[in-house]
Structure 1
Amino acid sequence: MNIAIIGAGAGIGLESVIQALEKGHNVTALSTKSDHIPDHPNLIKINGNATSSIDMTKTIKNADVILITVGTKNKKATTLFSDIAETLIKVGRELNFSSPVLIITGFGAGESKNYVNFFMRTVISLFLKDQYINKTEMEELITKSNLRWEIIRPGMLTNGSATSTYKVLSRLQRGIKVGKISRADVANFLIDEAENQRFIHQYVALSN
C-alpha cells in the first residue's frame, strides 16, 4: 500500500511513518523538516509545505490512503488547519482523488467540545482555544467536501510507548470518557485504519 503522510516530521506523523514502514508499506512523507525522518528504501521524503498545492500534489498523487497528522506549537490564532484542508480539497478535486483521507484533529473539536472533561476544557480554553477553533473549521471544510474522509479525535497526547489497548469510540454520548493516549497508539490506529477502513465518513475518538 502507498501511504501519504502529511505532517510527517514529528509526533504522530513520524510515528506513523515508522510503523507503516515496519509493516512493509511504501510511504511518501511531507514535512517542513523532512531531515528528521530516518531514511528507508520504501520512503520518499518531500521537504515542503502542506498548504502548497504543488507539494500536496507531489505527495498524494499516487497514494492509496492519506494521513493528515499536522500539528503546531503555535498557541496564537492560526489558519494552518483550515488552509491545509482547502489545499487538500483543491488538489483532490484536480486529481479526482477517491482514496480515503484520515485526518487528525483532537477531542474537543467540533461537536466533541460538548463532551470534554473539566480538565481538558480548561486546558483548551487557556492554551489551545485558537487551535481548536481552526481544527473545527478544518473538520467542517473536509466533511462538506467530496473526499472520502475520516476524522480522528485523540485525547490528550503523550509520548508513551504503543500499547494497542486503546479505546476507539465512534459515538458521542453522555458520560463518554476520553483521556490520555500516546502518539504511538494514535499512529497504530491510523495504520490499522489505513489497511482496513472501518470508519469512513465517521468521527472517531481515541483514548487509553
Structure 2
Amino acid sequence: MTMRLAVFGATGPTGVEVVQQALAQGHDVTALVRDPDKMAGLVPNKELKIEKIDLSSADTVEPHLQDKDVVLSCLGSSTWSWSAVSFYTDSMKVIVTAMRKNKVKRLLCVTSWYTEDDPSNPPPFLIRWVFIPIFLARILYNMAQMEQYLQGCEDINFTAVRPPMLTMGPVTDMEFRTEEGQQVRDREGVGGMCRADVARFMLSTMSSEDWVRKCVAVIAVPKKKTS
C-alpha cells in the first residue's frame, strides 16, 4: 500500500536509506530538511519532495505534515557529548505537536540499544562500564527521555526502533531478530547493524501492529541455511 511519508533527518546516513528505499517501494516521500540542496545531491530523484524546515517550533513544522500518513524521524545528535543533551526530546515534542495539529497518528523513530540500564539484561562489560559512561551516557539518557515522553503520548502510535552499533553497507535480505527490551540476546554473535537494514526494518514496520506503542530492539542476522 502506497503511503505519504514525512522523513525528518533525511540527510543523515540512515535517513538517506529510508528515503531511497521508500521511493523504490513507490511511497510518496517528503524529506524535511534544513538544507534542501544537500538533500537533492544525496538523493537525485525527481519523485522526491524536498521541503526546508525549522525545528524551533511546532508552528513552523505543522504545514509540512498536512495529509501525511506516517512520520519517520532519523534525527540524531553527535556521536558523543560532554554536556547535557536535550535534542531528542526537544525535537520530538515539536514533531508530536505538529502531528497532533494534522491528526497524524503513526510515528517511527530511531533510538538505540542500552538507552536504559537493565541489570537483568546488561551490555557487555566494556560497553557498560567504559564505552557508555565515557562517550554515550548523555545521548542515551536523552534518548531514554524521548522514549518515555512517547510512552506518555497516548494518541500517538509510535514505534521506537532500537538498533545496535550502526555500520555502513548495502541493504541485505538478512533476517530480523527483535526483542522488546534493551538488546536482542539471540543474535548469533552479530554485533552491529547496517543503516540500510535499519531503514528496511522501519519501512517494514510502518503498517504493522506488532510494535505499535513499543520500543523494539532489532538486529539483522544471516538466514539459516536449509538443506
Contact in 2 for aligned 1:25/1:42 (Cα 8 Å) = no
Q: TM-score, normalised by structure 1?
A: 0.88
Compare 49-58 and 136-145 and name the one that shifted more. Answer: 49-58
- Find out whether 1:7 has 2:15 as its counterpart: no
Q: TM-score, normalised by structure 2?
A: 0.81
- Find out whether 1:176 has 2:185 as its counterpart: yes
The one-letter amino acid paired with 1:17 is: V
Change (3 A) 1:111 1:34: farther
Q: Which residue of 1 aligns with 2:156?
A: 147
Q: Which residue of 1 aligns with 2:225?
A: none
Instruction: Identify the structure with the greater helix proportion.
Output: 1
Match of 1:124 among 122, 129, 132: 132
Contact in 2 for aligned 1:163/1:185 (Cα 8 Å) = yes
- Find out whether 1:106 has 2:112 as its counterpart: yes
Q: Which residue of 1 aligns with 2:173?
A: 164
Q: Over alpha carbons, which structure has the higher Rg?
A: 2
Partners of 1:9 and 1:55 lie apart in 2 by: 19
Partners of 2:203 and 2:12 lie apart in 1 by: 16
Q: Which residue of 1 aligns with 2:204?
A: 192
**Structure 2 SS opposite 1:66:** strand
The one-letter amino acid paired with 1:96 is: K
Contact in 1 for aligned 2:70/2:104 (Cα 8 Å) = no
Change (3 A) 1:50 1:116: farther
Partners of 1:174 and 1:205 lie apart in 2 by: 5
Segments of structure 2 that go 5 or more residues without pairing to the other structure are 221-227
Q: Which residue of 2 aligns with 1:67?
A: 72
Q: Which residue of 1 aligns with 2:224?
A: none
Aligned-pair identity in percent equals 26
Q: Which residue of 2 aligns with 1:22?
A: 24
In the alignment of these two chains, the number of paired residues is 207
* RMSD, aligned CA: 2.3
The one-letter amino acid paired with 2:92 is: A
Contact in 2 for aligned 1:104/1:151 (Cα 8 Å) = yes
